[in-house]
Chain A
Amino acid sequence: MTEKEKSLTAEELTFRVQRYEPTRDEKSHLQEFVIPFTKGMTVLDGLNYIKEKIDNTLAFRTSCRMGICGSCGMLINGLPKLACHTPVEELGKDVVEIKSLPNYGIIKDLIPDLIPLFESHKAIKPYILRSDSEEMEEPTAEYTQSPQELEEYLQFSYCVKCGICLAACPTSATDVLFLGPQSLAQAYRYCADSRDEGVRERTAIVDSGHGVWLCHLAGACSEACPKGVDPALAIQLLKRTVLAQTLRLRKKKEPSLVAPPPAEEKPKLPVPEFTAKR
Chain B
Amino acid sequence: MNVAEVKKKPLKNYLGIWGWVWAGRYNVERYLYTLQRVTGLGIILYGILHLTANGMRISGEGLWEDTMSLFENPVFAVGEYLVIAAFLIHALNGLRLILQQLGYTLGAPKPPIYPYSHALQRRRPIVLAMGALGAILLLLILIDFVV
Contact = CB atoms under 8 A, between A and B. Distances in A.
A216 B97 contact: yes
B13 A102 contact: yes
Contact of B29 (A101, A219, A227): A219
Interface stretch (A4-12, A129-137, A235-243): A235-243
A22 B8 contact: yes
A181 to B, nearest CB: 12
A180 interface: no
B4 to A, nearest CB: 10
Contacts of B20: 170, 173-174
A228 B118 CA distance: 7
A153 B109 contact: yes
A20 B12 CA distance: 11
Contact of B112 (A174, A229, A234, A239): A229
Contacts of B17: 173-174
A77 to B, nearest CB: 8
A58 to B, nearest CB: 16
Nearest to B7: A22
B97 A217 contact: yes
Interface string A244-271: 0000000000000000000000000000
Interface residues of B, number: 48
A225 interface: yes
Nearest to B107: A233
B15 A22 contact: no
B18 to A, nearest CB: 8
Nearest to A234: B109
Interface of A: 20, 22-23, 25, 27-28, 78-79, 100-107, 112-113, 151-156, 158, 168, 170, 172-174, 176, 215-220, 222-225, 227-230, 232-234, 236-237, 239-240, 243
8 contacts: A105-B11, A105-B12, A155-B112, A170-B19, A174-B20, A223-B27, A233-B106, A237-B103
Given A155-B112, A174-B14, A174-B19, 18 more contacts: A23-B1, A23-B8, A27-B11, A79-B25, A102-B15, A104-B13, A105-B9, A112-B10, A112-B13, A152-B109, A158-B112, A215-B101, A217-B33, A220-B30, A223-B120, A225-B118, A233-B109, A240-B102
